[in-house]
Amino acid sequence: YARRMRLRKQQKALKTRGVEMLRHGLKSLDELDEAEEKECREAEVKGTLLHSPSTAVSEGAAPDQDLFVALSPGFFDCLGVDGKMPPVALDS
């Protein structure tokens, strides 16, 4: 059962990546990887330029302060996080 689920997950990921590849007008998944890395780097640079020093985390920051404020908007995009709630496995 686990093998089948892993295969389905891989197939879905490949299909999604293929759609993204075509949407960007690219001819290979390697080109898509390069384009995504470039977008990620640009988002990080843009994010660091847009954040003012007041939003940066200081050394004496309170523990309850939101530390994610200091991260650039593209930070989580680079990790493949889309901001949606992850699916819950009901069989566990």
Of 92, 77, 73, 91, the residue nearest 35 (C-alpha): 77
SS3 call for 21 = helix
Tens digit of each residue's pLDDT (9 = 90 or more) over 44-76: 887 776 665 554 445 555 554 555 555 555 555
When pLDDT is cut at 50, 70 and 90, the band that residue 85 belongs to is low
pLDDT digits over 7-24, tens only?
A: 999 999 999 988 888 888
- Report residue 34's pLDDT band, with 50, 70 and 90 as the boundaries: very high
Buried b / exposed e across 63-90, counting CB within 10 Å, b at 16+? eeeeeeeeebebbebeeeeeeeeeeeee
